Structure 1
């Protein structure tokens, strides 16, 4: 059954050559979101993985912006809360932030100061793992908050960019790898 769900997910990922610039093959998840069965399959597969591998999860932490699409659905299924990691300047109130490197410059990610309490067990979620910079920054935020990071979940992993190396020793669970 899991293989059938995975095949459904794979069929709903589109490839766009030379987007956003020449030489990049963009993997588009929009067809997954448009199809109720494909979206359900993604959340089912994530839920099955979490229930089989993590006895206790307190929070799902979603990365701006596509982690916001999958994270709340998974959190609801698991009966846990959801926390946002946003680009700097997007959250009200006191925040905690980290800077990180992108292929084309620097960026900052932040969470609300009271979003995660020390010792909470968290799983981070995003749509795509490429070089690992954004997920690494989110993990650094969780460390600042003294959370226990259980691992990372992504729909797509671009293996040739070695993003998992940047996240070691954390486990990264990817549904689809290219």
Structure 2
């Protein structure tokens, strides 16, 4: 119920997409998940949580639980607001999905001097995004939900049409 596999999702030429939106239907479970993430990273002394625009921003509660600012990274331009990060910041990157690792690697490049710590929600291990992120300078890559446990596929809506844009 908390994450579904959507078959034939043409985004990034994947044959399916793992959607974590179901977790939002369960506020207590979502809160517990954010608490686990905050507990895991509290000891690192992070000064900022950086979430990738769109679904990475779902994890703003992790920043609230840690008592640190949340910074949104714009994916289209791979940019931050001026002054959002300063030298010496310890940054935790959060995204909902690691497939090839390209998006996270670009984010790592933006905060490399800050010693980024990478957190993800779903890692598609077959695509080796973890290895790519570690090579780019991530200290740690943690998949909260692994694709192997996502057994149930969500059906596409009857009126779904692949327009090639999404």
For the criterion TM > 0.5, the same-fold answer is: yes
The equivalent residue for 1:130 is 99
By how many angstroms is 1:137 displaced?
0.4
TM-score using structure 2 length: 0.79
The equivalent residue for 1:20 is 10
Q: Aligned partners of 1:112, 1:23: CA distance in 2, in Å?
A: 31
Q: What is the RMSD of the two structures over their aligned residues, measured on CA atoms?
A: 1.7
Could you tell me whether the CA contact under 8 Å between 1:17 and 1:26 is conserved in 2?
A: yes
The one of the two structures with greater contact order (alpha-carbon pairs below 8 A, sep at least 6) is 2
Alignment length (residue pairs): 143
One of 127, 130, 146 as aligned partner of 1:164 = 130
By how many angstroms is 1:77 displaced?
0.2
Instruction: Give structure 1 stretches of 5+ with no counterpart.
Output: 1-10, 89-107
By how many angstroms is 1:23 displaced?
6.2
The equivalent residue for 2:115 is 148
By how many angstroms is 1:66 displaced?
0.7
Q: Aligned partners of 2:20, 2:123: CA distance in 1, in Å?
A: 12
By how many angstroms is 1:41 displaced?
2.6
The equivalent residue for 1:73 is 61
By how many angstroms is 1:148 displaced?
2.5
- Give the 3 Å change call, closer, same or farther, for CA 23–109 of structure 1 in structure 2: closer
Greater share of residues in strand:
1
In the alignment, is residue 60 of structure 1 matched against residue 49 of structure 2? yes
TM-score using structure 1 length: 0.74
Runs (4+) of structure 1 exceeding 3 A deviation are: 20-23
Could you tell me whether the CA contact under 8 Å between 1:17 and 1:23 is conserved in 2?
A: no
